[in-house]
Structure 1
Amino acid sequence: MMEIFFETKDVFQLKDLEKIAPKEKGITSMSVKEVLQSLVDDSMVDYERIVTSNYYWVFPSKALHARKRKLEALESQLSEGSQKHASLQESIEKAKTGRCETEERTTLAKELSSLRDQREQLKAEVEKYKDCDPQVVEEIRQANKVAKKAANRWTDNIFAIKSNYYSAGGERSLEVAPRILEDQGHLIL
């Protein structure tokens, strides 16, 4: 199909291409529209709708320019890739020079390993004594104060209920709910 455009260097309508393609290139007239649309989608053929007609064209210079642009883009990618490769090779060489096995390096690696083990042991020891942490102890003390206040409040409520019961004419021999000792008082904070 592209050869038709390159040989004639002319502008065509779809109906013209449906007549020319089967004769000159052996393309069935039913598939001309599909082939042409795929070429337009791939930007290999230019297309313009003018009023009610659709016009298709390709000039050889467009293909040449497209190839030049593609070649320039590929050359640019190649040069970028080469530069990146060179910088990575340089980085590898720098890394290799600092990592040759020396006695000092071996000693430092062993020391690092022992320090890491020691750190893990210290973490385990800190976790073991976590219950003695001043912050944790203070939180427990605060929770105890809140619990004591709540217990005193309930004790006051029970005595208030008993007082109201007795003042309303209730018998002293009858106890309200569970047995409560008369000498029960407030908890000391």
Structure 2
Amino acid sequence: MSKKRGLSLDEKREKMLQIFYESQDFFLLKELEKLGPRKGVISQSVKDVVQSLVDDDLVSKEKIGTSVYFWSLPSCAGNQEEREEALAKLKAIELKHKELKDEMLQYADNDPAAFEAMKNAIDDAHAAANRWTDNIFTLRQWCSNNFPQAKEQLENLYKEVGMTDDFDYLELSPAPLSSVID
């Protein structure tokens, strides 16, 4: 007596795909379990084989009401191959984009927009420093006017915190910017 060898999983998958491609129809699982043995796939393994095809996007599955329908058209297989090619191209393009983005970061110091932003930041910082200087002069004047008897003590406090006689507004010199441009 010779034992009959069963089909491998790949062979079962091919046989089930043939059922879909030949009929180009929609099936319930029960219908597939009846058609499977005609192609050599035992009915007990049809559910697992069809699920593996669904997992690999070779067969579509949709629940409509209480029923679950399965289908696959020959054009879907072609679309799947095209999709894989498109995904591979997309991945290559994304990789190239990342490489170019990294290269752009190397040249960020020479970016005119970044230079203009630095220039604006310098102007803003200069204005803020002079605004604080103005606030300090206003506070010193207020303290001198309201506490004339403590003027000498206040002058000593100012010197302790670093406000010497040469404390004054900042002048913005164009020299640092021109040296960056050259």
Question: TM-score interval w.r.t. the shorter chain?
Answer: 0.3 to 0.5
TM-score by length of 2: 0.41
